[in-house]
Structure 1
Amino acid sequence: MRLGFYLIWPLLWPAPGAAEHNALLPRPQQVRYGSHQFPARGLSIHFASAPTAEDRFSAQNLSSCLSDRMGAPVPVAKDSASELALVLRRTGTGPDLPIPEERPGSESREAYSLSVTPQGGEVRASSSAGLFYGVQTLCQMIEGQGADAALPEVEIRDWPSLAYRGIMVDMSHGPLPTEEEVKLRIVAYARERHVGVVPCLELYGHLHDVFRVERYADLAAVPHGSEFNPLKPQVTSLLEDWVDQMATLFPSPFVHVGMDETWELERFAKAEAGGLGPGELYLKHFKSVAGLVNRRGRRVMVWADIFSKYPEIIAQLPAGTVVVPWSYGPENDYNHFLKPFASANVAKFIATGVTVWNQIAPDFDLSFDNIDTFLSTGRQYGISGHINTIWSDDAQVLMRSAFPGIAYGAAAGWQGAPVGIPCTPFGLIRSGPRTSGPRKHTGTI
């Protein structure tokens, strides 16, 4: 994924002739182009050492990219490298999927280097994940078609600026996959691409659909409400079952427990909590839920808005909690979302949104600005990760139209600087020729 030349990149090598080559998305941290090319005709793909299944997947991915552009098969060879070869060189045995306490940077698990000369090419990384990301960049660099297909002479070093980058897709208002579909079509598919799938549940509020079922109706905090009564023992038993199911289905070391927008909290605390304030009641329930998750060897993620409303309870968060402040609209100042957690030294992600709910077409101007500005503030406060979100509250979201926003968020979390609307290489689709006024982005990648 690539950016335009208007941006200033403190980690970018001089790149003579870069404008003559394909734009890459995300923009590598360091790139230097040469003046020669490596012809694709007659080349093959090789491994520098015994490949894992993940390495073979990357090699086949690269073979498919090259074969499509050339109109002829590019083999993944089993013998030693030939004269015209692209070599995949894994130098370590780093984890293939995200783990707790990941660190970004040039020595990170996902970092890679890529070199193409007139004599051949090499992708080098310490893990299969790094090789995979190097292959994704290499696939974008192919120039020309058929017999004229070639790779430019180049040296690249690249790594993520954030350790964790993700997309959260709300599936609670539409068709749900079966357990077998989750395992085979979501978890397995993501694993091949070095993506961990984290379950995001609602374990306090937003449960109106649950309480419509008669057997659960008396677990609500208020009649016809949407939040659990955390004082009922049956609630703990039910949540224990839910957490067990999710921990079995999803191998991720993280579980997101939701718990946002509990607007009935104050009303219930005043009437039923026996002297507990709303913040204390919320914290008590959160600690109970976190204990259920932690006992299964998982780390808790939680939306941050209620902790922000009752900042006096932040200091009592269980160790290891990851809070996720969220904001999906334009803000003049994002500091108040992050400062209380930074002061308490709590681990933080941020969540942005692709604005696609309650409207026919996504608002990319709003979405891209939200991603760039919130990420910029988040980096100042030392966030560890970025979650882009798509919500389907109105149950009529046209999900595929949001794909450009998903890609934009993925690029923004990898790069060290804002993607920047005026200078992106996105293909823009307009209903007619632009005449005057601000640029409106309603297009695709």
Structure 2
Amino acid sequence: MLLVPVPKELRIFNEKFYYLNESHIIINNSNKEEMFFIAKQIQGIINEELKKHIPILIEKRKTRSTGIIFIQKESLNCEEYILIINPNSIEIIYSKPAGAFYGVMTLKQIISQYGGVLPCLIIQDSPDYQVRGIMLDISRNKIPAMKELFRLIDFMAELKLNQLQLYVEGFSFAYPSFPEVWKDRTPITRQEIMEIDEYCKARHIELVSNHNSFGHMTDWLKRKEFNHLAECPDGYTNSIDNVHRDPGTLNPIDDNSLKLIGRMYDDFLPYFTSSWINVGCDETYELGRGFSKEACEEKGRGKVYLEFLLKLNELVHKHGKRMMFWGDIINEYPELIDQLPKDIITLEWGYEEEHPFDIRCKQFQKSGIPYYVCPGTSSWESISGRTNNMKKNLYNAAISGKENDAIGYLNTDWGGNGHWQYPCVSYPGFVYGAALSWDVEKNENIDIADYLNLMVFKDENNIMGQFILDLGNYYLKETKKMFNGTYISKILVTDIEINKFLNVSADIKDMKVEDIESIEKYVEQLARQLDKANMTCENSNLVYSEFKNTIRFIRHGCKLGKLKLAMDQKKIENKEKLLNEMIDEIGVIIVEHQVLWIRRNRIGGLNDSLDQLLKLKDYYYSLL
């Protein structure tokens, strides 16, 4: 029996339960509206899988011995459930509706595998982490259409996740106070936020507002009317890669910076029912290098950062909310952690397999500040993911957080440099993170591929799950390990003229031709596996097309890598023929990317996603 997450206790017996046409779904009068919605979920599953309609009835007490019976038991924890399949009945025992909902999600997986003849069993189950969530980046070009967001929420619900954050920076929200900044885009609207919130709540998921409020303000600060609020209005040179960048951090000593954030909050926060907001405040690279330099020299950079954070906390309180924030900057000043208010949540993030979650978690546990661990899916800047890194990163976060009293587990999924990865690339990370946050010991070795085949892609040939995991491991054949991405992905976003990767202190000479050819061979073998899949899910043709283009991206990155190495060595054979092939190939990638983007996402942001690919195409023409 495949159950994800694996329940804490499971006993299976030799007897069977057989569905009877005269069966009923029985709920009681308590929490009638919520319980009716939950009962309709199992009614829909039975109708879809077994082509049978079973009516829902309300009874105040257990008066029937057959059918599917919901039984409330106050002694259970709020998300705990007991699922009992007897020869004549199915009982779902719960304290709060969330527990009943999770019992139904487990029953759905059992019915998907066994149909109408179910093994008799007892499951008693509850989660390790109080909060189990996903943060989805909707600000790096790609804002999903509403139907895609609802699809993701349903996917989360089946995995018993209970928090969703949609990451907002720049102009991915339709601010009524600033219509000029988003007029040429297709942002999330105020009504849509309320619709997403409502959809989440019905599935026991909390939609938490997420709005960066200090760093990552580049889109705003590049504009003439806001540029004066930047710490460094003319931009700054990043010490990591020596590349000059646009301004990205607010000036914390100018009261008008706080007033700008306040206007954004006035527009944004009323549409969320959650009492929490993630204010971001990560990667404030310029802090102390511009207008706040003197203050930082006098008080210390960490103190200036903390003072602005505390002002944001006051602003959040005025809206009746509580604050959570990314912990990377405050971690640089551990002596200041004790000065944080005890009613906030710190978000400890790190995306590499060796990130020191154990050290950081001990630090936050000692301080008494509530915190989440925030690993990631490793999907971004990789085209097809980094499977092994993802699994180790997610597991280390889960085990360190559990051992050191973290209250939440937030699995992050970022974009960046075009947001070229398609949604299903993130699914293995979503599945594994959800399972680990439910019970890390029981779920360390779950079969991610089987779950994807059975519950997501409905692949009758059991190909897709393992295909995605394997495709996400092409990076293991690269010459060197790349931080936060893969070489093949970064090759496609290099500074063309100087052969240098953006965002990293590495260049093309770190690659070897034989390793690139090894990647090509590996991906060719996987392409043949993709053709053997037999998906029967609703959007199977779309998923197939997305992975065909994913493979095109990787192949083209390999070809470009070999071209650039040959250019360095001034040994290009059949240059004209090669460049014409590359022009044709990237033309296909661009057209397919446009078509696939529109199938799932809003049109706004597509041009930004295509920008680097179009530059590459122009570059090939220039070489001709």
Normalization by structure 1: what TM-score?
Answer: 0.84
Check whether the contact 1:204–1:228 (CA below 8 A) recurs between aligned residues. yes
Q: What SS is found at the alignment partner of 1:228?
A: coil
Matched, 1:182 2:193: yes
Q: How does 1:117-128 map to 2 (within 5 A)?
A: 117-128=86-97
Partner of 1:16: none
Deviation string for 1:241-298 (max 9, x for gaps)? 2223332011112111100111111323434557221111001000000111123222
Residue 90 of structure 1 deviates from its aligned partner by 3.0
Distance 1:221 1:347, change over 3 A: same
Quote the RMSD (CA, aligned, Å): 2.8
Check whether the contact 2:347–2:371 (CA below 8 A) recurs between aligned residues. yes
Partner of 1:304: 327
Matched, 1:248 2:279: no
1:381 to 395, 404, 410: 404
2:99 to 126, 130, 136: 130
Q: What SS is found at the alignment partner of 1:292?
A: helix
Q: How does 1:276-355 map to 2 (within 5 A)?
A: 276-331=299-354, 333-355=356-378
Work out the CA distance in 2 between the residues paired with 1:325 and 1:156.
Answer: 33
Partner of 1:40: 19
2:125 to 158, 163, 169: 158
Matched, 1:53 2:47: no
Check whether the contact 1:24–1:141 (CA below 8 A) recurs between aligned residues. yes
2:70 to 52, 65, 88: 88
2:466 to 406, 409, 429: 429
Partner of 1:19: none
Moved over 6 A (4+): 431-434, 442-445
Residue 212 of structure 1 deviates from its aligned partner by 1.7
2:387 to 358, 364, 374: 364
Matched, 1:31 2:10: yes
Partner of 1:17: none
* Paired positions, count: 405
Residue 83 of structure 1 deviates from its aligned partner by 4.8
Residue 333 of structure 1 deviates from its aligned partner by 4.2
Work out the CA distance in 1 between the residues paired with 2:113 and 2:341.
Answer: 55
Unaligned stretches of 5+ residues in structure 1: 1-21, 93-105
Matched, 1:218 2:211: no
Partner of 1:98: none
Residue 421 of structure 1 deviates from its aligned partner by 4.3
1:112 to 61, 74, 81: 81
Check whether the contact 1:308–1:340 (CA below 8 A) recurs between aligned residues. no
Deviation string for 1:13-41 (max 9, x for gaps)? xxxxxxxxx31111111111111111123
Distance 1:418 1:232, change over 3 A: farther
Check whether the contact 1:44–1:82 (CA below 8 A) recurs between aligned residues. no
Partner of 1:400: 424
Work out the CA distance in 2 between the residues paired with 1:68 and 1:48.
Answer: 25
Check whether the contact 1:376–1:418 (CA below 8 A) recurs between aligned residues. no
Work out the CA distance in 2 between the residues paired with 1:300 and 1:242.
Answer: 15
Work out the CA distance in 1 between the residues paired with 2:356 and 2:30.
Answer: 51
Check whether the contact 1:368–1:421 (CA below 8 A) recurs between aligned residues. no
Partner of 2:217: 207
Q: Judge which range, 263-272 or 54-63, deviates more.
A: 263-272
Check whether the contact 2:29–2:58 (CA below 8 A) recurs between aligned residues. no
Q: Judge which range, 256-265 or 414-423, deviates more.
A: 414-423
Work out the CA distance in 2 between the residues paired with 1:405 and 1:221.
Answer: 36
Distance 1:346 1:40, change over 3 A: same
Check whether the contact 2:6–2:442 (CA below 8 A) recurs between aligned residues. no
Partner of 1:410: 434
Check whether the contact 2:76–2:94 (CA below 8 A) recurs between aligned residues. no
Distance 1:337 1:431, change over 3 A: closer
1:75 to 51, 55, 60: 55
Distance 1:65 1:279, change over 3 A: same
Q: Judge which range, 403-412 or 268-277, deviates more.
A: 268-277
Distance 1:81 1:342, change over 3 A: same
Matched, 1:139 2:108: yes
Distance 1:257 1:333, change over 3 A: closer
Check whether the contact 2:395–2:440 (CA below 8 A) recurs between aligned residues. no
Deviation string for 1:390-414 (max 9, x for gaps)? 0012232312321221122111111
Work out the CA distance in 2 between the residues paired with 1:128 and 1:264.
Answer: 47
Residue 368 of structure 1 deviates from its aligned partner by 1.5
Q: What SS is found at the alignment partner of 1:265?
A: coil
Q: Which amino acid aligns with 2:90?
A: G
Work out the CA distance in 1 between the residues paired with 2:434 and 2:339.
Answer: 33
Work out the CA distance in 2 between the residues paired with 1:135 and 1:376.
Answer: 27
Q: How does 1:225-240 map to 2 (within 5 A)?
A: 225-240=247-262
Check whether the contact 1:169–1:391 (CA below 8 A) recurs between aligned residues. yes
Q: Which amino acid aligns with 1:90?
A: Q
Distance 1:352 1:432, change over 3 A: closer
Deviation string for 1:87-119 (max 9, x for gaps)? 112345xxxxxxxxxxxxx94311111111112
Q: Which amino acid aligns with 1:156?
A: I
Identity among equivalent pairs (%): 26
Partner of 1:102: none
Matched, 1:193 2:203: yes
Residue 52 of structure 1 deviates from its aligned partner by 2.1
Q: What SS is found at the alignment partner of 2:409?
A: strand
Normalization by structure 2: what TM-score?
Answer: 0.61
Work out the CA distance in 1 between the residues paired with 2:404 and 2:469.
Answer: 42
Q: Which amino acid aligns with 1:246?
A: F
Partner of 2:284: 262
Deviation string for 1:45-74 (max 9, x for gaps)? 111334522111110000111111212222
Q: What SS is found at the alignment partner of 2:303?
A: helix
Q: What SS is found at the alignment partner of 1:259?
A: coil
Check whether the contact 2:296–2:303 (CA below 8 A) recurs between aligned residues. no
Check whether the contact 1:372–1:418 (CA below 8 A) recurs between aligned residues. no
Q: What SS is found at the alignment partner of 1:33?
A: strand
Structure (1 or 2) with the larger CA radius of gyration: 2
Unaligned stretches of 5+ residues in structure 2: 144-186, 236-246, 454-464, 477-521, 538-624
Q: What SS is found at the alignment partner of 1:285?
A: helix
Work out the CA distance in 1 between the residues paired with 2:446 and 2:69.
Answer: 37
Work out the CA distance in 2 between the residues paired with 1:38 and 1:48.
Answer: 23
Work out the CA distance in 2 between the residues paired with 1:378 and 1:78.
Answer: 42
Q: What SS is found at the alignment partner of 1:410?
A: helix
Distance 1:336 1:82, change over 3 A: closer
Q: Which amino acid aligns with 1:150?
A: V
Check whether the contact 1:143–1:151 (CA below 8 A) recurs between aligned residues. no
Distance 1:144 1:316, change over 3 A: closer
